[in-house]
Structure 1
Amino acid sequence: MSSSQLQKELKKKRPFESPEQEAILNLLRTNDQFQNRFGRLFREYGLTSSQYNVLRILRGEGNPLPSLEIAERMIQVVPAITGLIDRLEKQGLVTRKRCLEDRRVIYIEITNSALALLKQIDEPLLSLHKRLIGHLNRTELKELSRLLEKARLSLPGLDD
């Protein structure tokens, strides 16, 4: 049996225990490689991936959002959304507004300087997406998304 590309990359002497193990390790290794490249890009603009994600959510929504709503929409789970918002506020990228009806709710609003920063990031980010997986054709990209969604949708049932 020939060894897989991942097995070679990891210099693993024996085959994987199962196809599931190999697939998950492939997913984790790919995610790590992609995250490193995204992290590098966002650092050039003084942001972390999580900070960029908050700004992307706010720009996409077009209106202020409660911080808990932002946390629910994040790509990666962030344990301390308040600290993340604090740092963005210090950078002048978001503002906080207390809800008048319910004083416990804080709305987060994107600033014009954040919108300008995102506009600067848009093209380099699109270019990075193309460099990372632009060699896959449209059918392969749709299939990759379908398979990843199928794998992710099985997660809630794991703790039943």
Structure 2
Amino acid sequence: MNVESIIKTDKVIPLHTRTIIHLLLINQKIHETMATALKPFEVSQQQFNVLRILKGQKGKPSNLSTLNERMVTKMSNTTRLVDKLLAKNYVQRTICEHNRRKVEITLTKKGSEVLTQMSKIVNDAEKELLKNFSKKELEHLNSLMDKF
């Protein structure tokens, strides 16, 4: 990916600026690819993230606070994300028997089945995005990104 040609400039871009632009362009490419992969399911990347978090709970209920803490993209609209998943019957929301102020969210059978389909497509998209990297290069890239 040649940053200068993408942003159509002949100027020499300072290395720190070029690096940030490069990261932004990569982020956009990843976002577009994942959105395209999830489009047939009419689910956003954030909704997909919520479903994966709930699957990771292994049947244990989660609450909005836990979901928000574990989200890849921290958002204040977790309630809205859950509402959209409720409308699709992918999650279930119940009031805790012991504490009526606590709302518990779990993955439904339908949600689990659809998540399995989505996960395969997302996994394929991830592999396609990273096909030009060896395992060693990906490990090195992750090590460098850990510095952030």
- Structure 1 counterpart of 2:76, one-letter code: P
Cα distance between partner residues in 1 of 2:89 and 2:111:
8
Give the alignment partner of residue 145 of structure 2, picking from 132, 148, 152.
148
* Structure ranking higher on relative contact order (CA contacts 8 Å, 6+ apart): 2
Residue 39 in structure 1 maps to residue 32 in structure 2: no
User: Residue 157 of structure 1 corresponds to which residue in structure 2?
Assistant: none
| Identity level (%) | 25
* Aligned ranges 1:1-160 → 2 under 5 Å: 5-17=2-14, 19-62=15-58, 63-151=60-148
Residue 97 of structure 1 and its aligned partner are, at CA, apart by 1.5
Cα distance in 2, alignment partners of residues 122 and 105 from structure 1: 29
Partner Cα separation in structure 2 for residue 88 and residue 124 of structure 1? 19
Over the aligned positions, Cα root-mean-square deviation in angstroms equals 1.4
Runs of 4+ in 1 over 3 A off after TM superposition: none
How many pairs are equivalent? 147
| Cα shift readout 1:93-137 (whole Å, capped 9, x = no counterpart) | 111112233322211100000110011122222211111002200
Partners of 2:143 and 2:67 in 1: how far apart? Answer: 25
TM-score by length of 1: 0.86
Query: Structure 2 counterpart of 1:65, which letter?
Result: S
Instruction: Give the TM-score normalised by structure 2.
Output: 0.93
Whole-Å Cα distance in 2 between the matches of residues 142 and 89 of structure 1?
37
Change (3 A) 1:20 1:104: farther
Letter of the structure 2 residue corresponding to residue 140 of structure 1:
E
How far, CA to CA, are the matches of 1:93 and 1:103 in structure 2? Answer: 23
- Alpha-carbon distance in 2 for matches of 1:122, 1:69: 21
Q: Secondary structure at the match of 1:65?
A: coil
| Counterpart code for 2:42 | G
Q: Match of 1:107, SS?
A: strand
